[in-house]
Amino acid sequence: MNVTAAPSPLTLAIALPVTLDGSLGTNRANGRHKQIAANTDIEAVRLWLAEYNASPHTLRSYRKEAVRLLLWATQTLAKPLSSLTREDFLLYECFLASPSGDWADPERPRRGGTRRLFEGPLSERSRHQALGILSGLMTYLVSAGYLGGNPLALRRGRTNSARRIRRVERYLDHALWDHVLASVELWPRLTGRDEQHHERSRWLIRLLYHTALRVSEAASAKAADFYQRRGKWWLHIIGKGGAEGEVPVSDALMADFARYRAFHGLLPVPSASETGPAVMSIAGDDARHLTPAAIYLIVKEVFRRAADALDATDPVGAATLRRASTHWLRHSAASHQADAGTDIRFIQKNLRHASIETTGIYLHAEEDRRHSDTVGSRNAPQRGQPPSK
């Protein structure tokens, strides 16, 4: 597997031999109605990625899937992307379910020129997502007049009637969330750097939870994005695909923000003219934003420390916290809002979901009541029998 480090998500820093660069691919459209100047697969894929330049999180995800496919096709099948057939993609789907060798070698680093491209087998959901992204790539290249057809268009889709609807399970229940908040307050703070890390971590997990931000949105959020309207606080957000939205902000969260800002010598309430980030960089620089990767690692540390404190008394809860990540806070926010009786239409707006059906998978309260009523009825005394003592 030959892959070099990529300095930019738009840079596909992989080396392909001329015979496999796609210029002579069997699925090329041969210049009919060509809308782009690209003549190799890498050039064409790079142009597709450029369409998502305004959405860094999506861009990184799409780039990852494109690199995986390009390398697998050229190194495993000795074919360029522009020669792949439906049969080839069936093989690729099997490969995603069980990548082996260097592809998922745990001895290889997670970053750099010799990095592994898989942590292990992809779940059915992850495989479906990966192939959906690649189908979008192929459709784009067909529309651009680069490819003659999209082999993934033949893929059998999952109909709504056949799809199994499952509630979101990647969230923290109220007790675990309360434990996380309490555990952060017990962190040792022996040095100034400890204090700074504590205040940043404390603010960050509250920001992610109370606003249900995606990690990329939190990374790009500015202090000036918090504003008042009719005496109430809101947070302006630029989300996926550059879509704008706004989220209600509680007085409690603004108090936490004021504490974090005061620690860094800033006024408690941000002004509209501020240019600094909502969460400052590791060094506390109010001119630099944290990266999404840095936010992810900070949240993972919060959960790991909270899990360590639970090992002796609640090993199941500790195991849950070790699996948790930034997106769990978004799921937890939605689930807890639903538990509190918040109108599902408001939750949809808070999470910026395009479909209310997506929001519906966060509703656990009704399922909890069904479970309690069902199990409770089985445990109740049968008619004519005295209650157990």
Tokens of 289: 């934003």
Whether residue 379 is contained in a domain is answered as: no
Residues in the chain: 389
343 or 365, greater pLDDT:
343
Q: Give me the pLDDT at residue 164, please.
A: 45
**Spatial contact of 315 and 307, defined as CB atoms under 8 Å apart:** no
Q: Give me the pLDDT at residue 163, please.
A: 43
The residue type found at 134 is: L
Whether residue 161 is contained in a domain is answered as: no
User: Are 239 and 126 found together in one domain?
Assistant: no
Whether residue 342 is contained in a domain is answered as: yes
Q: Give me the pLDDT at residue 47, please.
A: 93
Burial class of residue 184 (count of CB atoms within 10 Å of its CB; 0-12, 13-18, 19+): middle
Whether residue 1 is contained in a domain is answered as: no
Whether residue 179 is contained in a domain is answered as: yes
User: Are 327 and 247 found together in one domain?
Assistant: yes
Instruction: Give the residue ranges of DSSP H helices in 191-242.
Output: 192-211, 215-220
Judge whether residue 368 has pLDDT over 90.
Answer: no
The residue type found at 374 is: T
CATH assignment at residue 184: 1.10.443.10
User: Are 92 and 129 found together in one domain?
Assistant: yes
Whether residue 36 is contained in a domain is answered as: yes
**Domain-terminating residue out of 124, 154, 184:** 154
Among residues 220, 212, 209, which one has the least CA distance to residue 353? 212
pLDDT in tens, 274-292: 889 999 887 666 778 888 8
User: Are 137 and 221 found together in one domain?
Assistant: no
In DSSP terms, which residues pair with 247 in a beta bridge? 235
Q: Give me the pLDDT at residue 279, please.
A: 92
The residue type found at 132 is: G
pTM for this model (two decimals) = 0.58
Give strand ranges (E) for the chain.
Answer: 226-229, 232-238, 244-249
User: Are 261 and 322 found together in one domain?
Assistant: yes
DSSP string, 279-315: SB-TT--TTSBPPHHHHHHHHHHHHHHHHHHHTTT-H
Q: Give me the pLDDT at residue 113, please.
A: 54
Q: How far is CA 277 from the centre of its chain?
A: 21
Q: How many domains does the chain have?
A: 2
Judge whether residue 187 has pLDDT over 90.
Answer: yes
User: Are 359 and 227 found together in one domain?
Assistant: yes
DSSP string, 77-124: S---GGG--HHHHHHHHHHHHS--GGGG-TTS-SSSTT--S-SSPPPH
pLDDT in tens, 126-179: 888 899 999 999 999 999 999 999 999 887 765 443 344 454 467 899 999 999
For 200, 252, 254, 330, the CA distances from 280, given in Å and listed in that order, are 8, 20, 16, 20
Q: What DSSP state is assigned to residue 2?
A: -
Q: Give me the pLDDT at residue 327, please.
A: 87
Whether residue 354 is contained in a domain is answered as: yes
Judge whether residue 85 has pLDDT over 50.
Answer: yes
Domain membership of residue 309 as a residue range: 174-365
Whether residue 380 is contained in a domain is answered as: no
Tokens of 1: 């597997």
Mean pLDDT of 179-204: 95
pLDDT in tens, 87-127: 999 999 998 988 877 777 677 666 555 566 787 888 888 88
User: Are 102 and 207 found together in one domain?
Assistant: no
pLDDT in tens, 284-327: 667 788 888 899 999 999 999 999 999 999 999 999 999 999 98
Q: What DSSP state is assigned to residue 189?
A: -
User: Are 23 and 112 found together in one domain?
Assistant: yes
User: Are 144 and 179 found together in one domain?
Assistant: no
pLDDT in tens, 15-73: 788 899 999 999 999 766 788 989 999 999 999 999 888 778 788 889 989 999 999 99
pLDDT in tens, 247-273: 999 999 999 999 999 999 999 999 988
User: Are 226 and 359 found together in one domain?
Assistant: yes
How many helices (H) and strands (E) in the chain? Answer: 14, 3
Q: Give me the pLDDT at residue 347, please.
A: 83
Q: What percent of the chain has a predicted confidence (pLDDT) above 70?
A: 80
User: Are 241 and 360 found together in one domain?
Assistant: yes
User: Are 187 and 143 found together in one domain?
Assistant: no
Collapsing DSSP to helix, strand or coil, 146 comes out as coil
Cα gap 142→29, rounded to integer Å: 8
